[in-house]
Amino acid sequence: MIYLEMNHVRKSFGDLEVLKDISLKVEEGEVLSIIGPSGSGKSTLLRCAAMLETMDGGDLTYLGEQAVTIQNGKSVYAKPAVLRKIQENFGMVFQSFHLFPHYDVMKNLCDAPIHVQKRNRAEVEAQAEELLQKMGLTGKEKAYPCQLSGGQCQRVAIARALMLNPKVLFFDEPTSALDPELTGEVLKVIKSLAEMNMTMVIVTHEMNFAREISNRVIFMDQGVIAVEGTPDEVFDSENARMQGFLGKFREK
């Protein structure tokens, strides 16, 4: 089943055209990585998919439900009530976590399920305990985000997103704010999600990681998809921009 589909997506900020006719599909259980130089539009694409940015053109569909349709070449969004329903299909993990600093770890995880989804508290807390254990965060229930390391914060943020049982999980450069050691522990968690067949779209600068865990990779450059395919196809591509980009990474 196709979980996420976007067609002909266009997005401009003022005169700057950030996305130029981008189409992509994500199937159930698939891990899609989006790589590319800064300013290529990766994050904007992800934020359009998550409806944090309004796209100018193109459509957006989750599990067959249309969130955005094209009418006369322009994007038309569904009614707010419909969008809110569709939004339950996905969650997002941000580069700088965006945990709620005034809530402890447990409340960060449980507040939305209890007060937004109106689920049973005991059941929600049991799920939270289980997730914290998986994330290696047992014992941190009562800690506040400011008492945690960046890696721990990001793992809490991943757990928080998983609490709502999303069908698709977006990652917007989840390790870019972390040092190499902390990056490792977050990537390990994402890898374990991939092993559980979680459907994920990951914008990342971790090339080895992208190559290892993805089913498919998209290389974006200047607002278009320059190369797309299996990790091997993309990383071994003859595309000049792709080679130039990878070359800079190998030099590091």
Helix, strand or coil for residue 35? strand
**Smallest gap, in angstroms, from Cβ of residue 81 to other proteins?**
11
Three-state SS string across 58-92, please?
EEEEECCEEEEEEECCEEEECCHHHHHHHHCCEEE
> Residue 117 interacts with other proteins (CB under 8 A)?
yes
Chain positions 67 to 86 lying near other proteins, rule: CB under 8 A, are 84
Least separation, in Å, of the C-beta of 17 and other proteins?
23
**Three-state secondary structure call for residue 94:** coil
The answer to the question of residue 115 lying near other proteins (CB under 8 A) is yes
Q: Where do we find the tokens 């689920």?
A: 119
Q: At 150, phi and psi to the nearest 5?
A: -60, -40
Which stretch in 54-62, 93-101, 129-137, 238-246 sits in contact with other proteins by CB under 8 A?
93-101
Q: What is the 3-state secondary structure (H, E, C) of 100-167?
A: CCCCCHHHHHHHHHHHCCCCCHHHHHHHHHHHHHHCCCCCCCCCCHHHCCHHHHHHHHHHHHHCCCCC
Residue 7 C-beta: closest distance to other proteins, Å: 23
Contact mark string toward other proteins, 161..190, x via CB under 8 A: x--x--------------------------
Sole binder of other proteins in the list 2, 82, 116, 126 (CB under 8 A)? 116
CB of 53 to other proteins, least distance (A): 10
Using CB under 8 A, list all residues that contact other proteins.
50, 52, 84, 87-88, 90-92, 94, 96, 98-102, 111-112, 115-117, 144-146, 160-161, 164
